[in-house]
A and B are shown apart, each in its own frame.
Chain A
Amino acid sequence: MTQEVNIPLTDLRRSQPRFSGFEAGHRACLGCGEALAARLVTESAGPDVMYANATGCLEVFTTAWPDSAWRVPWMHSLFANAAAIGAGMEAAMKAQGKSTRVIAMGGDGGTFDIGFQALSGMLERGHNVLYVCFDNEAYMNTGIQRSSSTPHAAATTTSPAGRESMGKRHMKKDIVSIVAAHHIPYAATASVAYPSDIHKKVRRALAIDGPTFLHIHTPCPLGWGHDGALTIEIARLAVQTGLFPVIELERGGVAGAMPIRKLRPVTDYLGLQSRFRHLFADSSRAKEELEHLQALADHNIELYGLRGEEKIDALDSEGADTVRRGGMRWA
């Protein structure tokens, strides 16, 4: 069936019943989790916000001059300084007596690695900045190199699997705990598979006076080796297996966790991605690594109490992102 619309699409686009801070025509890959997360964040934050964006995919695919996908005041400076730029913006707003909020954002490289010091400084100084990390677990913009966020056993171009290697040897850095250890008022993780949860957490963070942190898990079809149509499915499986716990921390203490309704084995998640393909080889090492990853997931489940009580959580529509006729998820 071909669609017929009475009003031109450009007019319709202009009159969407949500805040459009992030526009179409950006050059992200098909099914990009980061593009989606960025759109959701701007949408949730509203118009009175300025953004500091670290170098990375998001910055590159949104602002190929003279085009920009942003409809919010936005600035990219460098790879390592998004948190410091955000701090400067916030100081300026304070000095000018303005209420415009500041969101700094970066990928996992710009947050876990090169921008880590600036992030720590911003948090310690108590700037009224929400820092959002879009975590796709490797340096994707430069060609899928491992970062300190790359999960254990994932193959990247600098942690390839081979006769002597099962992918990345080290563990994924527990950034949210490290951030929370700054005793900031609010730090949380979220997944692009749960947009209502992102929406809620962005708003919660922006309502707080002080530094806040949101870590969003965003699959990268190119780097993880999956079809773009599977981005949400894979993000959801990361949560449902326990490999990516969705939690909230206040002043350093765990204040909430999204329960897993139906626990899934890690192989359901790993098997969909070519970065973990070597784990399905018929070898004892591969089997051991699978067990290792399952153990890591089990550890998270135990640590954060993620095992959902089926009865109680059955109606937890807020966290589970279930839908209602007529789009009531956003109510």
Chain B
Amino acid sequence: MGVKITRGSFARPGTSLQFDTGSWRVQRPDHLHAAAPCHSACPAGEDAQAWLALVEEERFREAWENLITANPLPAITGRVCHHPCETACNRGGYDEAIAIHHVERFLGDMALQEGWAYPQVQVPDTAPEIAVVGSGPAGCSAAYHLAQRGYRVQLFEALPVAGGLLRSAIPPYRLPSKVVENELDRLLANGIRFMPGQRLGRDFSLEELQASFSAVFLGVGTQRSREWSIDGATPRDLHVGLSLLKEWMDVGVIPCWSSVAIVGAGNTAIDLARVLKLAGVPEVHIISHKAIPGPGVPAQDAMPAILREIEQGLEEGVTIHEHRGVQRLILRGEQVVGLELVHMKKLADANGRLKRVAFEGTESMLHVEQVIPAIGQVVDPDGIRALLGQRSYFRVDDWGQFPDQPKLFSGGDARGDRGTVSEAVGDGRRAALAIDHMLREEAGEVPENKTTPIPLEQLNLNYYEPAPRPEVQLLDVAKRSGFDEIESGLTHKQATGEGQRCFSCGNCLACDNCWTLCPDVAVLKTQDVAADGSHYVFDYGYCKGCGLCARECPSGYIVMRDEV
């Protein structure tokens, strides 16, 4: 009994749905959101992939709003960041990395131009109050993220204006002062009580802050130059790189020597060299222990300065002496007339530790009128001597928290293991998260998505069209004055094009591939975004677990798991 035969044994449409092919399955496909390499690599914690997706759809404001959940200063970082996101970008292994850095600037500039505001947060008068010392990128970021989380914030700054090294150390051809001004004006207008002209150790003490605030963030930066001498000798009129740069940015003039050697390999060395060169110094040399970054140069042997800046410096006529150290100052009286250079390299000693080795017989002379050390800065110990002890920098954990001082945090250059604006922004955000976590008395670790980025091999590159990365306009070398910005921004079309080029690593592209390629009609498309962030659900009643969808998912968003 049961089923009755039909005339000529015809069957009715779609009746195969009563046959449960899902029972054949030994493996099931599942959506797995893996972190995109750009997200994992961003020091500021931006999810570039997420906002690039919005940029592609020309939803620029939403893209910017997504971006500023991590980084409130995209017009700034979009100019000065060393963009490790692009180094990590999987697309680099296919044709050329996505121009994430340029798109970030595009969004930052558009936000300034359109006057987009940060999300408004109502902060009650009773909310805990946090003190942030220093209004450089770390302090500003901490203040912003705390304010966004509903805290009252007082931001102390020794100088009359906010910005720290953004104003004092980065030349305007890289970061126009108008951009800094606009970006910071918006930030400070966002429920933050700004206290200019207030210097730690002079106008208030750390103890006072600790007594009257729920938590304190020290974004004090590195205000003191390292001591520099060669076998105890220093030139009489020693100029230090960073202060020279600051002086030029403040008054707009710089001593015009005939030849200068700058000792150092960081951004200050390059910035200063370029400023000197653009100001008319005929001969500008950089003496670097390390090599110019490039293919085959290991990261630990590469100059820490941003490659783009090195390249532009070379283009402008700066000479870089790689793997070279100063052996001796050549003085006439106390006046420098030249340097004795020697080839140097970092090599492993018997214990495997790297140390610098000078190679005898490679000495050479370099005649210069001035030598300028740009070998780094340390924390100014005024007012925080006890905290610093004998160290040059603060020692804090990943979240910026001082050991045994649960309510005291730091970040940015003052940590000593940082050195970029983006890292400082990231430190400010992470400290804000940790402070929030602490004040809410939440248990466990501070919540943050930490996932292993998805490697290129897990993507299916067959589905991506080769497409070139856009090139931005650069000011002609002859027209560079040092004040006018050198790089211009992306056009709308270029920006959305980058959104299209994005692989969407580890995230659903909504490309329909799984839906299109399932032989068993077991992938269904949803009208709205499904609960897991994709646009598709697996119908396990019919999925046989062949694994085709996982294999063909362009972005590596589908994984196969064994059935239990």
* A contacts B: CB pair < 8 Å: yes
Please classify how large the interface on chain A is, using the bins under 10, 10 to 19, 20 to 34, 35 or more: 35 or more
* A26-B467 Cα distance, complex, nearest whole Å: 40
* A71-B510 Cα distance, complex, nearest whole Å: 27
* A25-B543 Cα distance, complex, nearest whole Å: 9
* A63-B552 Cα distance, complex, nearest whole Å: 28
Cβ of B510 and Cβ of A326 under 8 Å apart? yes
Chain B CB within 8 A of A157 CB: no
| In-complex Cβ contact of A5 among B6, B517, B531, B550 (8 A) | B531
Stretch among B9-17, B69-77, B108-116 lining the A interface: B9-17
Contacts of B19 in A (CB 8 A): 25-27, 64, 67
Q: What 0/1 pattern do residues 307 to 331 of A give for CB contact below 8 A with B? A: 0001000110100111111110110
Contacts of B521 in A (CB 8 A): 20, 22-24, 39
| In-complex Cβ contact of B551 among A5, A233, A325 (8 A) | A233
Nearest chain B CB to A15 CB, angstrom units? 8
Chain B CB within 8 A of A247 CB: no
Cβ of A325 and Cβ of B510 under 8 Å apart? yes
Chain B CB within 8 A of A70 CB: yes
| In-complex Cβ contact of B11 among A30, A31, A67, A228 (8 A) | A67
| In-complex Cβ contact of B511 among A1, A12, A325 (8 A) | A325
Contacts of B499 in A (CB 8 A): 325
Nearest chain A CB to B461 CB, angstrom units? 10
With CB as the reference atom, state the residue of chain A lying closest to B3. A66
Contacts of B551 in A (CB 8 A): 229-230, 232-233
| In-complex Cβ contact of A324 among B6, B511, B518, B539 (8 A) | B511
With CB as the reference atom, state the residue of chain B lying closest to A15. B527
* A13-B536 Cα distance, complex, nearest whole Å: 11
Cβ of A66 and Cβ of B15 under 8 Å apart? yes
* A227-B26 Cα distance, complex, nearest whole Å: 14
| In-complex Cβ contact of B17 among A23, A221, A324 (8 A) | A23
Stretch among B28-36, B147-155, B335-343, B446-454 lining the A interface: B28-36
Evaluate whether A31 and B519 lie within 8 angstroms (CB atoms) in the complex, with A12-B537, A68-B14, A71-B14 already known: yes
For the complex with contacts A1-B33, A232-B517, A325-B502, 6 further pairs of A-B residues with Cβ separation under 8 Å are A20-B521, A24-B541, A27-B21, A221-B546, A229-B548, A325-B500
Cβ of B17 and Cβ of A25 under 8 Å apart? yes
Contacts of A62 in B (CB 8 A): 16
Cβ of B525 and Cβ of A17 under 8 Å apart? yes
Chain B CB within 8 A of A35 CB: yes
Cβ of A325 and Cβ of B53 under 8 Å apart? yes
With CB as the reference atom, state the residue of chain B lying closest to A320. B465
Nearest chain B CB to A238 CB, angstrom units? 13
Cβ of B20 and Cβ of A25 under 8 Å apart? yes
Cβ of B500 and Cβ of A324 under 8 Å apart? yes
Chain A CB within 8 A of B513 CB: yes
Nearest chain A CB to B450 CB, angstrom units? 17
Cβ of A1 and Cβ of B31 under 8 Å apart? yes
Name which of B32, B504, B518, B552 has the most chain A CB atoms within 10 A of its CB: B552
Name which of A68, A227, A236 has the most chain B CB atoms within 10 A of its CB: A68
Cβ of B517 and Cβ of A36 under 8 Å apart? yes
Question: Can you report 16 A-B residue pairs in the complex whose CB atoms are below 8 A from each other?
Answer: A1-B532, A5-B530, A9-B524, A9-B541, A20-B521, A24-B522, A25-B16, A36-B518, A40-B516, A66-B15, A70-B14, A195-B517, A315-B467, A323-B512, A323-B513, A327-B511
Chain A CB within 8 A of B423 CB: no
| In-complex Cβ contact of A317 among B13, B462, B465, B524 (8 A) | B465
Cβ of B542 and Cβ of A232 under 8 Å apart? no
Chain B CB within 8 A of A53 CB: no
| In-complex Cβ contact of A329 among B24, B53, B511, B547 (8 A) | B511
Cβ of A5 and Cβ of B519 under 8 Å apart? no
Per the CB 8 Å criterion, the residue count for chain B at the interface is: 68
| In-complex Cβ contact of B512 among A6, A23, A31, A327 (8 A) | A327
Nearest chain B CB to A153 CB, angstrom units? 26
* A193-B520 Cα distance, complex, nearest whole Å: 16
| In-complex Cβ contact of A25 among B18, B466, B467, B526 (8 A) | B18
Contacts of A323 in B (CB 8 A): 463-464, 509, 511-513, 554
Interface residues, chain A, with chain B CB atoms under 8 Å away? 1, 3-6, 9, 12-13, 15-17, 20, 22-28, 30-33, 35-36, 39-40, 62-72, 195, 221, 227-233, 236, 310, 314-315, 317, 320-327, 329-330
Chain A CB within 8 A of B248 CB: no
Contacts of B6 in A (CB 8 A): 65-66
* A90-B420 Cα distance, complex, nearest whole Å: 73
Contacts of B519 in A (CB 8 A): 28, 31-33, 35-36, 39, 231
Cβ of B520 and Cβ of A35 under 8 Å apart? yes
Chain A CB within 8 A of B228 CB: no
Cβ of A67 and Cβ of B517 under 8 Å apart? no
With CB as the reference atom, state the residue of chain B lying closest to A310. B466
* A169-B451 Cα distance, complex, nearest whole Å: 53
Chain A CB within 8 A of B235 CB: no
Nearest chain A CB to B8 CB, angstrom units? 10
Cβ of B56 and Cβ of A325 under 8 Å apart? yes
Contacts of B24 in A (CB 8 A): 30
Interface residues of B in 28-57 (CB under 8 A from A): 30-33, 53, 56-57
Contacts of B504 in A (CB 8 A): 325
Contacts of B105 in A (CB 8 A): none
Chain A CB within 8 A of B545 CB: yes
Cβ of A24 and Cβ of B531 under 8 Å apart? no
Contacts of B522 in A (CB 8 A): 24
Contacts of A4 in B (CB 8 A): 530-532
Cβ of A228 and Cβ of B538 under 8 Å apart? no
Cβ of B14 and Cβ of A30 under 8 Å apart? no
Chain A CB within 8 A of B544 CB: yes
Nearest chain A CB to B65 CB, angstrom units? 19
Cβ of B524 and Cβ of A13 under 8 Å apart? yes
| In-complex Cβ contact of A68 among B15, B31, B526, B560 (8 A) | B15
* A79-B460 Cα distance, complex, nearest whole Å: 38
